[in-house]
Amino acid sequence: MQSVEYTPDDFDSLHAAARKLRVPSLCHRPFVDHYYAGNPWSRLHLVRESSGAVVGTLGIDEMRFACGGEYRTLGFATNFHAAQPGVGGLLYLRWLKTCPLGLVFGGSEDTHQILRRQRWTYFRGVKAYVLNRRYHVNPTDATWKRWAKRILTNVPRPSVADRLRRLPRAVREAVTVREVGHVSEDMLPTRSPFAVRFAPTTDYLNWRYHTGLSFARYRVFCIHAAGRCQGYVILQESREKVTVAHCDGEDASVLAYGVLRSLGEADAGRREVLLTSSHPGMAAVYQAFGFRALGGERPLVVGSRTGAVDLPTDTASWLVNFDWGDNGLRAPFADQVAGAEDRLTASHAIAQDRPA
C-alpha cells in the first residue's frame, strides 16, 4: 500500500472509493478541490493498494491556536475512512506525524472508540445551542412522533429581529456590526480574554470561509464597539438554517452581542440558528436571547503521539466555534440543493468585495 497526497488528477479514483465507502462529501469536486488542493493548510491523504484503487482517506486541516501567549498547531482530522484492515492505523500514524497535537470536535462513535483506546484527552463543557429549533421528521419515526415534530416546528416564535428589539438599549447602541466581503487585519483581536482560541491568519480565514464559494455560503461581519473594530463574526447560511461558523473578539460580552447583531443583519428571521460555546458568560447572553442547549456536551478531544496534552483543562476560558475543520462542510452542499442557483442576494452583494 502507498500513501499519497490528493491532487485534482486523483479525483476520479477518489470518487470511485467515496461511492463504495458511502462518503458523499468526497464525491463533490468543488468541495474536494477547494478544501484539499491549492492551499497550504489542508491536505487529503490517500492510501492506494497495488491496483491503484483508493482504500483509505484522511484529511488534515492544520489549525493555529493561541494558548498561553504562544501559538500551537493542531491537526483537525477530516474524512477519516478505511476500507481494509490496517489502513486506519497507517492513516492514524500519518495524522500524528503531521502535527504535534491532533484535534477532534464532534466525530462518530467509531472515531471515539479509537481515541479512547489511545487515551486521548476529553475536554468537557462544550455545548451546542439552538434557536428556533426545527424537528426533522425521519422515515423511521412513529406516526405520533411525526405529527409532534411538525407541530413543534410550526409553533410561532419571535424572529431574531423581534428578539434584538428586546435587548437593552444601551447594548444595542454600544455594539454594532457591519457586513464586509472578507476578514482584514484590522478585524483580528489585538488582545484576548480567552485562554485557548482558534487564531488563524487572515489568509486562512479568507480561504476557509470564502464568501464566494459555490458549495457553502459564508457571510462576514465586523464588530464595532467603543468607536473601533473589536472582532468579527462569520456565519454560514442556507434557506432553513444559520450557523455561527466562527467568531473572535477582544471582549467576551461584546463578542456574544456581536454574534446576535450579526444574526439580525443577516436577516436570520425564524430560521434555525446553531452555535457552540463553553464560555459561561457568552452562553448566558445566548440563553437570555432564547437559545437552548441541544442535548449533552459536544465532544472536544486532543491527543498526541506521546499522550501528553499541555492545554488548560477548564474550557470555561476557551472560545469554541462550531465550524472548525469540515464540521460545516457536509453533503448535500449548497450547490447540490434544488433551487441553489437562486442565491441569497446578500451573498452576491458582498462577493464583489472579496479578495482574489
Q: pTM for this structure?
A: 0.89
Give the residue with greater pLDDT, 218 vs 146.
Answer: 218
Q: How confident is the model at residue 146 (pLDDT cuts 50, 70, 90)?
A: low
Q: How confident is the model at residue 120 (pLDDT cuts 50, 70, 90)?
A: very high
Per-residue pLDDT, 134: 75
Q: How high does pLDDT run on average in the chain?
A: 90
Statement: residue 101 has pLDDT above 80: yes
Q: How confident is the model at residue 144 (pLDDT cuts 50, 70, 90)?
A: low
Cα dihedral angle (330, 331, 336, 341), rounded to 10 degrees? Answer: -20
Amino acid at 118: Q
Q: Which three cell numbers stand for residue 102?
A: 491532533
Measured distance CA(270)–CA(300) in Å, rounded: 29
DSSP 346: H
Q: Which domains does the chain have, with CATH numbers?
A: 2-99 (3.40.630.30), 127-298+312-351 (3.40.630)
Which CA distances in Å does 266 have to 118, 233, 350? 42, 11, 12
Measured distance CA(218)–CA(354) in Å, rounded: 11
- 247, 258 in Cβ contact below 8 A? yes
Which string of DSSP letters, residue by residue, matches 135-162?
-PPPTTS-HHHHHHHHHHHTS----HHH
Q: What pLDDT digit, counting tens, does each position of 207-263 carry?
A: 999 999 999 999 999 999 999 999 999 999 999 999 999 999 999 999 999 999 999
Which string of DSSP letters, residue by residue, matches 283-303?
HHHHHHHT-EEEEEEPPEEEE
- 59, 36 in Cβ contact below 8 A? yes
Q: Which residue has the cell 422515515?
A: 139
252-265 vs 280-289: helix crossing angle, rounded to 10: 30
Per-residue pLDDT, 347: 42
